[in-house]
Structure 1
Amino acid sequence: MNEQPRPPGTGERPVGYALSGAAGGFARTLLAQTRLIPALEPAVLCDVDVPRLRALCLELGYPEARLRTCADAAETAAATADGNIALVADHELIGAGAWDVLVEATGSPAHGYAMARTALELGRHVAMVSKEVDSVAGLHLARIAAANDVAYLPAEGDQPGNLLKLLDRARLLGMDVVAIGKSTEYDLVHDPERGTVTQLDRTVDAPELGELLTLGDDVRATLAARADAVAALPTGATADYCEMAVVANGTGFRPDVERLHYPVARIAELADVYALREDGGVLREPGAVDVFSALRLPGEASFAGGEFVVLRTNDAETWRILAEKGHVVSRDGRYAVLYLPFHLMGVETPATLLDLVARGRDALTREPRRHAVLAGRAKQDLAAGTVLDMGGHHHDVTGVQAVLLRGDEAPADVAPLYLAAHATLRRDVAAGELIALSDLADPDPALVEAWQQGEETR
């Protein structure tokens, strides 16, 4: 299983990839899966903690003799030329090695953008995992990729990449899609016997949910009652908004409301929930991206942060037959749902890497445009001099509520959330105000340039 060094070059050699953030959780899943795929090999692994990275590689079974810690470009190039794996701490060394595609998984907007740009300008493909980078610089990176005749796209294994693939299939089949989206990362598990609901490691009392396990005649009223019942649990992770920004820009689907609907819904209800309002659902108009909180009972299958596509049905008899087979169809038969109840992180990413190298730009099915903006509203009054720190739960920016704005409705000066992150406010920002670029005293200049270049695709 990838034990023997393989010479670099063309022909029968495996696809080589570089990986940033290589000691993280996503990276582990990719490195573990790579051990099972002879056609794929890591070439350069970059992480600030090289000893930890080395220990991870050894734990996963990579031969110690092939792991070369490299301190400069010459060492990195020599390691990959010999068919070994270069371990580097300096992200500027990634491009010195021989490889075909970069998997960017740092989650750092500034570092991730720099590495992705370098890769594309070197004529290498980029599979983007860092949604934070994509939400700020993705449109500009896509243009750089086109100029260098290589491909840039979200990697399968994370929700944006999976959802784009699912939508492609629906469109290939001629389906009339009205909404696309994903579930929150963690289900709401209701225990009727105890009258509680659990989300990950937190349990709260919610006895009223026992009377709300079916939608009833008034879907929106039931959803409102469920939301009240679980109000003690958090709703609306910043990561969700970020992922939907990437999906919106890649598809043209837009947020129905800036905080998204976040309905508490069971899987079998999605076709009724994501119907248009005139048909009893939550959507104000077709073409929406959204996120729901999956409600289930103990022992029922999880949605596992998976993805869904809601479509209008065509032939009533076709969908009656499919409903009998267990497919999710609305009670009135007008809507149906396709869904993937998973995202397998790096376990799925090899599919993207192999496809990119095999097909190049032919692997692209769309060119992204500015259809949505991941922005932030101040949760409370923020004083001039406040540093907008990151590092909170699920990539939150302290004191700022993530929102998803429609691209054509976003103010020209709005700051993308992950460009504002780590910056210092130059003026007081009142609670409820959008953070603007002009509010930032010290934004990263490279990210500002990338964002402004991407603005041309509105």
Structure 2
Amino acid sequence: MSLFAKLKQRAAENRPVRVGLIGAGKFGSMYLSQAERVPGVHLIAVADLSPARACASLARVGWAAERLAARSPEEAAKAGTTFVTDDADGMIASPFVDIVIDATGSPAAGIHHALQAFAAKTHIIMVNVEADVLAGPLLARRAAEAGVIYSMAAGDQPALIAEMVDWARTIGLEVICAGKGTKYHPVYHASTPQTVWGHYGFSDAQVASGDFNAQMFNSFLDGTKSALEMAAVANGCDLVPPSDGLLFPPCGVDDLPHILRPMSEGGVLERRGTVEVVSSIERDFRPVFRDLRWGVFAVFEAPSPYVRECFGQYGLKTDASGRYAAMYKPYHLIGLELGLSVASIAVRGEATGATGDWRGDVVATAKRDLKAGETLDGEGGYTVYGKLVRAPDAVRLGGLPIGLAHHLVLKSDVPAGRMVSWADVEFDPTKEAIRVRRAQEALFAAEWGLV
């Protein structure tokens, strides 16, 4: 039976899956625009630091004010309405919420909400890739101990890539490389919230619509978001990051199997079984032909001459040898697709992509020469961008994860392009996010034999 049929059955039996959303920003608003339209799903509560902002988001995507009259999750469950609150912890702890969605974008908040969900024996969908990359491998273990599901978010690129990787492996194909497309140029690493809109070409009217956060969008442009998403894919798909960061080769969909194959075969990959991001513009800023800016891909190899023939017979684009081919999806709809995760957890008991081993990490890297006494401002800010590295290397070198590069003061100068280390900053080891991250580092360092 399909997901939709099972949801309709739950609706007919008056036992909808009860959902709580944390964060009514862009991703959350996109989910809210669809949540009412799906049978068998009841959005019990929306938690946001600003309930007024959450109500405004709900109104903007079409929710009637009378649907928001509930004063508690219990009242919402009984009346078929939705409760809006600023108390995320209370919402998570409610017995009337089955699945929590963290769409905050705050690494520290995401870790906290995950731990609260585990304590409440509540499933959680982690839209918050920043939190997942910061501590996801440890959180996944905690979720398993609690007997709940810790899932990637359908519609976001890591989950879509994980689905494609799973498809290839399940039909017997070795995944050579998996990843996504984006608009990238090396100069974008220095982009700031002040320069971001010029690079994107957004109009003042678009920026003023309420859905556009300059620092968040700058994290897409300066390479940080790509690094985070590829770390999540590496951790969820048993793939290995490049040894010195993403290459971002300019590449259109027809060239995926030519460019994203091993160096020994004429490609750019230093190894098989890796992640990469392809750029939609050339290094001279010309547009790439048939670019994959909004999409995802997987490159795989024919295991036999017969399968190679099948690739050709059914029109797959391959490299010149016919051995390497690619499958891709040109678009993703982020929050509009999130209902797939809700349905999969509710009726199949399955995550839509799940963090596993710790393979990739993202370290804070100086955008410019930084001076002792400066305060770091995190993803998409003015001081640092995130660089993808192999997790054992990050731990061995003491790299400061980008997810913790918020409001930390530098103790020493850091030249442009250099990784920021734990030793470079003042930090409070008792803070929850730092404590969880350091526990993950200690656990895996012992497993890797680094201590």
**C-alpha distance in structure 2 between counterparts of 1:295 and 1:426, whole Å:** 38
2:91 is the counterpart of 1:94? yes
Q: Distance in 1 between matches of 2:320 and 2:293?
A: 25
Contact 2:93 2:120 in 1 (8 A): no
Comparing 280-289 with 309-318, which one deviates more in the overlay? 309-318
**Equivalence for 1:379:** 367
Partner SS state of residue 377, structure 1: strand
Higher helix share: 2
> Does the alignment pair 1:349 with 2:338?
yes
Counterpart CA distance in 1 for 2:270 and 2:32 is: 43
Distance in 2 (CA, whole Å) between partners of 1:110 and 1:367 is 18
Q: Post-superposition shift, 1:13?
A: 1.6
Q: Distance in 2 between matches of 1:309 and 1:299?
A: 19
What SS is found at the alignment partner of 1:271? helix
Q: Which has the larger radius of gyration?
A: 1
Equivalent pair of 2:241/2:390 in contact (CA under 8 Å): yes
1:396 aligns with 2:395: no
Contact 1:236–1:262 under 8 Å retained in 2: no
Partner of 1:117: 115
1:433: Cα distance to partner?
3.4
Residue 255 to residue 387, structure 1, CA distance change in 2 (3 Å) = same
TM (normalized to structure 2)?
0.81
1:276 and 1:282 in contact (8 A); partners too: yes
2:52 maps to what in 1?
51
Per the alignment, do residues 378 and 295 of structure 1 end up closer, same or farther by CA in structure 2, a change over 3 Å counting?
closer
CA contact (8 A) 2:33 2:61 kept: yes
Amino acid aligned to 1:78: E
**What letter is aligned with 2:360?**
A
Which residue pairs with 2:273 in the alignment? 287
Decide whether the 8 Å contact of 2:369 with 2:413 is kept in 1.
yes
Give distance in 2, aligned partners of 1:401 and 1:185: 16
Counterpart check, 1:161 vs 2:159: yes
Give a deviation string over 1:91-114, Cα, whole Å, max 9, x none.
Answer: 333224411111111101112221
Aligned residue for 2:409, secondary structure, equals: coil
Paired letter, 1:387:
T
Identify the residue that residue 425 of structure 2 maps to in structure 1: 440
CA shift in 2, pair 1:408/1:283, >3 Å: same
Please say if 1:239 is aligned against 2:221: no
CA contact (8 A) 1:95 1:118 kept: yes
Tell me the distance in 2 between the aligned counterparts of 1:45 and 1:427.
Answer: 42
Kindly indicate whether the alpha-carbon contact (under 8 Å) linking 2:369 and 2:415 is maintained by their aligned counterparts in 1. yes
Match of 1:220 in 2: none
- Conservation of the 8 A alpha-carbon contact between 1:316 and 1:333: no
Query: In the alignment, is the contact (CA less than 8 A) between 1:253 and 1:288 conserved in 2?
Result: yes
Is the Cα contact below 8 Å between 1:135 and 1:242 reproduced in 2? yes
Q: How does 1:124-143 map to 2 (within 5 A)?
A: 124-143=122-141
Stretches of structure 2 that go unaligned for 5 or more consecutive residues are 1-9, 186-197, 203-219
Counterpart of 1:173 in structure 2 is 171
- CA-CA distance at 1:248 after TM superposition: 1.1
RMSD (Å), alpha carbons: 2.9
**Structure 2 partner of 1:201:** 201
* Cα displacement (A) at 1:371: 0.6
Partner of 2:401: 416
| Deviation for aligned residue 1:176 | 1.2
Shift of 1:160: 0.7
Question: Is 1:186–1:199's contact at 8 Å kept on the other side of the alignment?
Answer: no
Question: Bigger CA drift: 266-275 or 50-59?
Answer: 50-59
Rate the CA distance shift 1:375–1:397 in 2: closer, same or farther, 3 A: farther
Which residue of structure 2 lines up, in the alignment, with residue 42 of structure 1?
43
Counterpart for residue 30 of structure 2: 29
SS in 1 for 2:110: helix
Q: Structure 1 stretch 395-404 or stretch 12-21: which is displaced more?
A: 395-404
User: For residues 281 and 313 of structure 2, what CA distance do their matches in structure 1 show?
Assistant: 23
The 2-side partners of 1:235 and 1:29 are apart by 21
Conserved in 2, the CA contact under 8 Å of 1:263 and 1:293? yes
> What is the CA distance between 1:141 and its match in structure 2?
1.6
Q: Distance in 2 between matches of 1:407 and 1:299?
A: 32
How far is 1:440 from its partner?
A: 2.4
Amino acid across the alignment from 1:399: T
Distance 1:308 1:106 in 2: 27
Does 2:358 correspond to 1:370? Answer: yes
Change (3 A) 1:176 1:153: same
State the SS of the aligned residue for 2:393.
coil
Is the contact between residue 136 and residue 355 of structure 2 (CA under 8 Å) also seen in structure 1?
no
- Alpha carbons 1:107, 1:131 under 8 Å: kept: yes
Aligned mates of 2:251, 2:353 — CA distance in 1: 31
1:151 to 141, 149, 152: 149
Identity %: 30
For the Cα contact (< 8 Å) 1:136–1:450, is it kept in 2? no
Inter-CA distance 278–289: structure 2 relative to 1 (3 Å threshold): same
Give the counterpart letter for 1:440 in structure 2.
V
The aligned counterpart of 1:310 is 299
Displacement of 1:56: 2.9
Contact 2:92 2:122 in 1 (8 A): no
C-alpha separation between the residues in 1 aligned to 2:223 and 2:415? 22
- The match for 2:208 is none
Question: 1:229 is matched with which residue?
Answer: none
Partner amino acid, structure 2, of 1:165? E
Partners of 1:358 and 1:245 in 2: CA distance: 29
Measured after TM superposition, the shift of residue 253 of structure 1 is: 1.2
Check the 8 A contact 1:380/1:399 in 2, yes or no: yes
1: distance between equivalents of 2:289 and 2:417?
Answer: 39
Does the Cα contact within 8 Å between 2:180 and 2:277 map onto a contact in 1? yes
Distance 1:111 1:334 in 2: 45
Contact kept, 8 Å, 1:77 with 1:96, in 2: the verdict is: no
Structure 1 gap segments, 5+ residues each: 1-7, 188-197, 203-233
Count of aligned residue pairs for this structure pair: 400
Answer whether contact 1:420 1:443 (CA < 8 A) is retained: no
SS, match of residue 326 in structure 1: coil
Between 1:279-288 and 1:8-17, the stretch displaced more is: 8-17
Paired letter, 1:172:
T
CA contact (8 A) 1:186 1:200 kept: no
CA distance in 2, matches of 1:301, 1:287: 25
TM-superposed deviation, 1:155: 0.9
Q: Paired residue for 1:85?
A: 82
